[in-house]
Structure 1
Amino acid sequence: MVLVAAAGGLRILQILRAPVGGLFRHVADLTRYLAAQGHDIGLIVDSVANDAQTETLLKALEQHASLGIHRLPMPRQFGRGDLRTPFAVTALERRLNVDILHGHGAKGGFYARLASYGRHKARVFYTPHGGVLHFPANQMSGRLFHGIERHLMSRTEAIIFESAYAQRTYSALIGAPTCQSAVIHNGLRAEEFEPVVPQDDAADFVFVGELRELKGIFPLVEALALVSRPDGQPARLVMAGDGPQRAALEARVRDLGIADRVDLVGSQPARSVFQRGRCAVVPSLAESLPYVVMEAAAAQLPVIATQVGGIAEIFGPTADSLIKPNSAQHLASSMKRILADPDAAKVEMHARLAHVSAQFSVERMAGAIEDLYHRATRR
């Protein structure tokens, strides 16, 4: 039985591997928006990597996914599922009479475009979300994935990059897209622009992210050890998140003698943690377009961040304040500046807020993607 699209609406399958992190946040926001516009949406996710958290997240999307949530094997590395899943995607595309296949991440994009070899009409879109860009060109895995990417470009209607940085990196590693491409920034929901008021006993700084070296956690605590408030009291830091290097971080904090100044609170929603600090710090060594920077800016917190990835695109007119990554000294200088002149930090925060409000909304993001879908299906 082949299902027919409702008048005026598109039938869209979003394909991703693991429903976690910023990639899933993007797909979830896009799904809700498109469903509200009268489109029929389905999701294809990995059948292996699910846990209680992912099931809860997917359950919340069921009411917006009229084409269902389908689980197929999607191994992180190449595996048997990579031989079977593209055929299953093709069969599902035919049965659901899909207009759009949109692959997210390296594996989602791989399946969407391989399925196109057997498709009848669906247009194929691809958003890397970092994905294939994380594989270095000087390693065998990188050369393999990049070669596949070049081959599959001819099966792609359009590549959507979440940042100009991602577009530049893709072109440098793989080559300029031979298909249509567009930069469409991720966006925030309206309620995320409500200000977060710090608690009376809030720490001076707050970090939200995975506890691993790439997130700059070690330069951050080393910088904190160098920072005091104008009244001479030691500065304090709240760190929310978990990860493989939590134990190493705790050991470093003890070695620095600042255990009483660092509060590790585990994984929590960003906005609930923002109220526990007066300035957000994002000291990453590498990023693409991190949601946490947008979220902190929208919550009306001052933000200290490093000059990596697409963060300058979020900072907009305040990009000159971005600092060198992996430098405790540069971090400490920025932290001292914020503490010494909170009024200047507030002025900078408002300039950044205006930029993020204008450029980084879900409506702007999803509306631009919807427009690409419509233009492709009208040709």
Structure 2
Amino acid sequence: MNQPPLRIVHCFRSPIGGIFRHVRDLAEQHSKAGHKVGILCDSTTGSAHEDRLFEQIMPYLELGLTRLPIRRGVTPGDLVALSNSYKQIKALQPDILHGHGAKGGVVARVIGSLLRAKRYRVARFYSPHGGSLHFSRGSASGQLVFAAERVLDRMTDAISFVCDYEQRTYENKIGKPRCHQTRIYNGISDRDFGAIIPEVGAADFVYVGMLRDLKGPDVFIEAFAETERLVGRPLRALIVGDGPDEAKYRQQIEMKGLARRIGMLAAMPVREAFAKSDIVVVPSRAEAMPYIVLEALAAEKALIASRVGGIPEVLGTESPALVEPGNVQALASVMARALTTPGWKRDTMPTPDSFRQRFSAVVMARDMEALYRDRLAQL
């Protein structure tokens, strides 16, 4: 029996990185399935690269794009942001409010609850994407954030985790959710699959992602210097991305005398970045299920990554491509082996066919729609 289309609004803060990619893929797939989709996010974050991504996704946003100032930290301005968001979302009359990340989760669940109090039939969903789960249980800020998550849990119809690791971390730090919970892996679209051949003069290694310490560009710079020592010759690397710590990394490169061998480029389409090298390094200190890992494997790149978040669920828990986060020596050792060992990529990476069967955007969107309809039917 044909079911009516859903009105879906995704709420998140920063239109950069994996959350934005996740929402874009869901929006495209659900729009193609006949649903009406909208986005609400921060207006102060992003660059020309993100502007281009918004242009690409606009044909799939029948409910439009709403951008308001939503600060990263907790500030008095959050009340203004919530008030403005409420007015915008109420006018869209959504069936589904899906919050992504800590701030997006607050917006979707608080506003969804306010609408429910006015007898609107709207289901409230939350995907942490790491977010508040990166806080330490031993810190005062962590305790405050986790207490807020427990309160918001009572205002949630379902939590969708992007990997088993994220689900376990939530239960360990916050507690077992009182609401419905499930795990739906991130997936990528068909156009993301296919080998990307490195361009002429490609670098030995490339880092692609946000320029902030959580993602580990500083670890990458230190490990690159050590890798040169291990292989006994000068190498070349690129850092591709934008973020709040860019100036600090430029200074680090200068201080280590690596300015001629480590270049820095602004964020660009990821498949263009992958043409810059055949070895992609993801040195994150913490992650949930990073899209850069899925994108690199779909492009048939050699991938070296930290053993964090859901990455071992993709590469395998015993993969020799995994290193402990923040361990410069271990990362350099694997970088040197990947560069100098014949057949390292072939012997270490998952096969393209097996990878594609597990991480598909079509499957992700289908499972998410089923979750939406199941929870909405309970209201």
Q: TM-score, normalised by structure 2?
A: 0.87
User: Which one-letter code corresponds to 1:30 in the other structure?
Assistant: L
- Distance (whole Å) between structure 2 residues aligned to residue 295 and residue 362 of structure 1: 12
How far off is 1:69 after superposition? 2.4
Give the distance between the partners of 1:257 and 1:82, measured in 2 at CA.
Answer: 43
Partner of 2:329: 329
* Equivalence map 1:135-214=2 (5 Å): 135-214=135-214
Q: Secondary structure at the match of 1:167?
A: helix
Match of residue 364 from structure 1 = 363
Partner of 1:284, secondary structure, is coil
- Equivalent position amino acid for 2:292 in 1: V
Is 1:281 the counterpart of 2:281 in the alignment? yes
The DSSP-based 3-state class of the residue aligned with 2:154 is helix
Distance apart, 1:179 and its partner CA: 0.8
Cα distance change on mapping 1:300 and 1:167 into 2, 3 Å: same
1:88-107 matches, within 5 Å, as 95-107=91-103
352 and 146 in structure 1: CA distance in 2 versus 1, 3 angstrom threshold:
farther
Match of 1:20 in 2: 16
2:27–2:60 Cα contact (<8 Å) kept: yes
Contact 1:283 1:325 in 2 (8 A): yes
- Residue type of the alignment partner of 1:112: A
Pick closer, same or farther for the CA change 1:143–1:295 going to 2, 3 Å.
same
- Residue identity opposite 1:308 in structure 2: V
Give 1 or 2 for the bigger CA radius of gyration: 1
Return the offset for 1:141. 3.2
1:118 alignment partner AA: L
How far is 1:34 from its partner?
A: 0.6
Report the Cα offset of residue 117 of structure 1: 3.6
1:170 is matched by which residue type in structure 2?
A: Y
Deviation digits for residues 259-279 of structure 1 (CA, Å, limit 9, x no counterpart): 433233333332212222121
Distance 2:4 2:216 in 1: 47
Work out whether residues 242 and 267 of structure 1, in 8 Å CA contact, stay in contact via their aligned partners in 2. yes
Name the Cα RMSD after superposition: 2.8
Structure 1 letter corresponding to 2:126: Y
Q: Which residue of 1 is the match for residue 115 of structure 2?
A: 118
Is the 8 Å Cα contact of residues 213 and 245 (structure 2) preserved in structure 1? yes
| Structure 2 unaligned spans of 5+ | none
- The CA distance in 1 between the partners of 2:88 and 2:333, in whole Å, is 55
Counterpart mapping for 1:195-344 below 5 A: 195-227=195-227, 233-316=233-316, 319-344=319-344
Match of 2:7 among 6, 11, 26: 11
Q: Which residue of 1 aligns with 2:37?
A: 41
Alignment check: 8 A CA contact 1:317 1:352 kept: no
Percent of aligned pairs sharing the same letter: 39
CA 1:323–1:179 in structure 2 vs 1: closer, same or farther (change >3 Å)? same
Separation (CA, whole Å) in 2 of partners of 1:113 and 1:88? 15
Confirm or deny that 1:377 pairs with 2:376. yes
Aligned pair in 2 of structure 1 residues 336, 134: CA closer, same or farther (>3 Å)?
closer
Q: Distance in 1 between matches of 2:73 and 2:34?
A: 36
Cα shift readout 1:214-258 (whole Å, capped 9, x = no counterpart): 333333333333435999643322222244444443444445444
Native 8 Å contact 2:17 2:209 kept in 1: no
Listed as ranges, the gaps of 5+ residues in structure 1 are: 1-5
CA distance in structure 2 between the aligned counterparts of 1:55 and 1:253, rounded to whole angstroms? 29
Q: How far off is 1:280 after superposition? A: 1.2
CA gap of 1:159–1:259, structure 2 versus 1, over 3 A, is same
- Rounded to whole Å, the distance in 1 between the matches of 2:216 and 2:103 is 27
Determine whether 1:74 maps to 2:70.
yes
| Equivalent residue number for residue 130 of structure 1 | 130
In 1, distance between residues paired with 2:86 and 2:254? 54
Task: Give the superposition deviation at 1:352.
Answer: 5.0
1:83 and 1:242 map into 2 onto residues whose CA distance is: 28
CA spacing shift, 1:273–1:169, aligned 2, 3 Å: same
Q: Which piece of structure 1 moves more, 313-322 or 95-104?
A: 313-322
Q: For the Cα contact (< 8 Å) 1:67–1:96, is it kept in 2? A: yes
Kept in 2: contact 1:315–1:352 (CA 8 A): no
CA distance in 2, matches of 1:233, 1:282: 23
Counterpart in the other structure of 1:353: 352
Matches of 2:293 and 2:201 in 1, distance apart? 23
Q: 1:252 to 1:33 in 2, by over 3 A?
A: same
For residue 13 of structure 1, give the secondary structure of its aligned residue in structure 2: strand
CA distance in 2, matches of 1:141, 1:171: 18
Alpha-carbon distance in structure 2 between the residues aligned to 1:224 and 1:111: 41
How many residue pairs get matched? 373
In structure 2, what is the Cα distance between the partners aligned to 1:42 and 1:245? 31
Q: 1:61 aligns with which of 36, 57, 63?
A: 57
Residues 133-190 of structure 1 show CA distances to partners (whole Å, capped at 9, x for unaligned) of 2333344433332222111212211101112221122112211111111111212111
Q: Is the 8 A contact 2:7 2:35 kept in 1?
A: yes
